[in-house]
Amino acid sequence: MGKRDDLIAQYADDLRKKCKMEPDMALLTKVTIGCGPAIYDNDAQTVAASDAAEIERVKNNFLIKKLGLKDGPALMDGIKAVVATYGEGERNKYRAVVYYMLTKHFGKEGVYA
């Protein structure tokens, strides 16, 4: 297995153990690939959920630009729900896992079809 496959397995493990959900591995793989080289960078591979600027970036760059959602309070509610599911106290919230859960939360799996 390559480095990306190892990371996808780690993300699936997080989804099962920390988020209590069984991942759709095909979608998780596509979301991970969509993250590009960020998954290999120690800083970029995680989402700093307590950093307001980081949450704004997730909203603008992923939810609005990538998933094509319209800006509104529902976007922040979705981000908060995903962060709560992942665990407020969980220090390492992997970007691919957060993006996967946001994709599922908003029913936008078709973006990766």
Distance, in Å, from the CA atom of 85 to the CA atom of 3, rounded to the nearest integer, reads: 26
Q: Could you give the residue ranges of the DSSP H alpha helices within the chain?
A: 3-17, 25-34, 52-57, 73-86, 95-105
Per residue in 78-99, pLDDT tens?
A: 999 999 999 988 888 999 999 9
The domain made up of 3-112 has a fold known as: Recoverin; domain 1 (1.10.238)
Average pLDDT, the chain: 95
Please state the domain extents for the chain: 3-112
**Residues of the chain predicted below pLDDT 70:** 1
pTM above 0.85, yes or no: yes
